[in-house]
């Protein structure tokens, strides 16, 4: 499995498309610390007339929880970055530190996308596209293997869904949680 992961990584970095290099470097840069998701949350909240601070705070909590969990897992797994294991590979983005699995960018992106999609469902396609693009950018620039991105995405998805479940349990009336649709029987 790891050999297939390495081969997929090598295929990507050996088939870069020059005009797309700045796009994927830019996506990688905006993905740091999940800041793009928090800014998007505030913008989407304003656009949909939701509470801006609450929406941004919820998204920040999900994004940063995913980031912290990814850092903890990285410390346990200690998988070297591809450019450390494969020194002949030239990366498009320097300054990447730490270990490789899971991708923090993918974790924060999926956590942010899931959290915001649950708040603003009509934005789901754009959020998913941005999340996928940021995750893929990490392989494209040479910072992660594909399995790092998939692992980060799974972690971010779990965090985003946990936050969503927490929201449902706190926000919906108890009858709505039991599947009654929140309706009271007529009497």
Token pair 């956590």 in the structure block, residue: 111
Those residues of the chain that have pLDDT short of 50 are 171-187
| pLDDT value at residue 123 | 86
Residue pLDDT, tens place only, 49-69: 888 888 888 889 999 999 999
Q: Per the domain annotation, does 124 fall within a domain?
A: yes
Q: What is the pLDDT of residue 170?
A: 60
> Does residue 75 form part of some domain?
yes
pLDDT in the model for residue 172: 41
> What does the pLDDT read at residue 23?
95
How buried is 3 (Cβ within 10 angstroms: 0-12 exposed, 13-18 middle, 19+ buried)?
exposed
113 in Cβ contact with 37 (< 8 Å): yes
Q: What is the CATH number of the domain that holds 138?
A: 1.20.144.10
Cα(68)–Cα(74) distance, integer angstroms: 10
Q: Report the alpha-carbon distance of residue 139 to residue 141 in Å, rounded.
A: 6
Domain that holds residue 46: 21-170
pLDDT at 156: 96
Q: Is residue 161 part of a domain?
A: yes
Is residue 58 included in any domain, yes or no?
yes
pLDDT of residue 168: 64
Number of domains in the chain: 1
Token representation of residue 120: 């603003």
The residue among 77, 26, 66 whose CA lies nearest residue 159 is 66
Q: Is residue 146 part of a domain?
A: yes
- Alpha carbon distance 81, 52 (integer Å): 37
Residue 130 belongs to some domain of the structure:
yes
Asked if residue 97 belongs to a domain, the reply is: yes
d(CA 21, CA 15): 11
In a domain, 136, yes or no: yes
């Amino acid at each position: 499995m790891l050999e297939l992961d390495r081969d997929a990584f090598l295929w990507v970095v050996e088939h870069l498309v020059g005009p797309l290099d700045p796009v994927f470097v830019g996506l990688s840069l905006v993905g740091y610390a999940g800041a793009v998701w928090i800014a998007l949350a505030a913008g989407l909240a304003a656009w949909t007339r939701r509470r801006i601070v609450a929406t941004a705070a919820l998204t920040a909590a999900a994004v940063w929880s995913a980031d912290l969990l990814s850092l903890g897992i990285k410390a346990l797994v200690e998988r070297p970055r591809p450019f450390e294991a494969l020194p002949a590979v030239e990366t498009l983005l320097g300054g990447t530190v730490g270990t490789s699995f899971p991708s923090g960018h993918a974790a924060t992106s999926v956590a942010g996308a899931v959290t915001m999609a649950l708040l603003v469902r009509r934005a789901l396609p754009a959020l998913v596209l941005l999340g996928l693009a940021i995750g893929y950018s990490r392989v494209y620039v040479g910072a992660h293997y594909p399995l790092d991105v998939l692992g980060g995405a799974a972690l971010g998805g779990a965090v985003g869904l946990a936050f969503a479940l927490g929201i449902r349990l706190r926000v919906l009336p108890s009858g709505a949680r039991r599947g009654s649709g929140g309706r009271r029987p007529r009497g």
